[in-house]
Structure 1
């Protein structure tokens, strides 16, 4: 299971600091987990699965796909793959801007 955590992090393109921060862990704790020198709880497994849309069955034992997909995921990917590379790049830029806007809105909502 420890190796699969590293696989997830790499598949997401995150370094240890970024991945650990999203889980509320220190980078050194994550590093020890990835090499099997530190255990982690069911709470951390659930958090990884929730935060990164990871298939819990895959994380715990290996069968299945790494990430959980929905019908919307598949539909989005199908549409995305039909776009020209320039349009794909524009869509990714727009999606990142939407995500930043959402985060700002959520932060301001929580500040109220």
Structure 2
């Protein structure tokens, strides 16, 4: 199959008349008809416009090398969600994240990192306390150290929360 047939097949797959397809790539119906019949060669400009407007890969249009369509963010997201077994809400979250400007994503990553670090500190504190308490009686120095660590963790948590609230405002 050559380029003229791929153009015709693409147009038919899109359920477009020659006039409608031609209009989308900035040419007349007679010109498109001539290309589909092999009377006229397609221009570089028309190749670029077909690829852009119909989201097809240039390799497919020129040489027939599949896949036909370019990957879009939605197709990549769909594949990732299947692979990772993510639900609809998680997919929406990822799509929304990817749709915001880079600067906003950077603020979000910073806030999320702080939240995760805070979560990690809290979990470590609980694990350490349980482990120490189950192994032996604490000395006064060990109790003092645990209390200091708890105070430090609470201060860090409060500071992080204040930073997150400030950035979210």
TM-score by length of 1: 0.63
Residue 71 of structure 1, CA deviation: 4.1
1:58 to 57, 60, 66: 60
Indicate yes or no: 2:21 matched with 1:19.
yes
Q: Secondary structure at the match of 1:69?
A: coil
Q: Which residue of 2 aligns with 1:102?
A: none
Indicate yes or no: 2:69 matched with 1:67.
yes
Rg larger for: 2
Number of equivalent positions? 78
For the aligned residue pairs, the C-alpha RMSD in angstroms reads 2.0
Gaps of at least 5 residues in structure 1 are: 79-112
TM-score by length of 2: 0.43
Residue 68 of structure 1, CA deviation: 1.3
Gaps of at least 5 residues in structure 2 are: 82-169
Runs of 4+ in 1 over 6 A off after TM superposition: none
Residue 73 of structure 1, CA deviation: 2.8
Aligned equivalents of 2:62, 2:31: Cα separation in 1: 19
